[in-house]
Amino acid sequence: MTALFGTKYFGFILSAYGITAAVLIVLTVWIFTTHTRRKQQLAKLEEAGLKRASRSNG
């Protein structure tokens, strides 16, 4: 690993890992916030009297 620090490709490698990490963090936050919003919307709909088809007794 220490051999990479002296190479001319170190900037490329570091930026590739950095971009990948940033994309993964953004996707994780996006999925978490979307999930939270959907749960809130579902709770409001169920509170209004609407039921999910997957929870019906038929």
pLDDT digits (tens, 9 = 90+) for 13-31: 899 999 999 999 999 999 9
CB contact burial 2-20 (16+ within 10 A = b; e otherwise): eeeeeeeeeeeeeeeeeee
Mean pLDDT of 38-49: 92
pLDDT digits (tens, 9 = 90+) for 5-15: 678 888 898 99
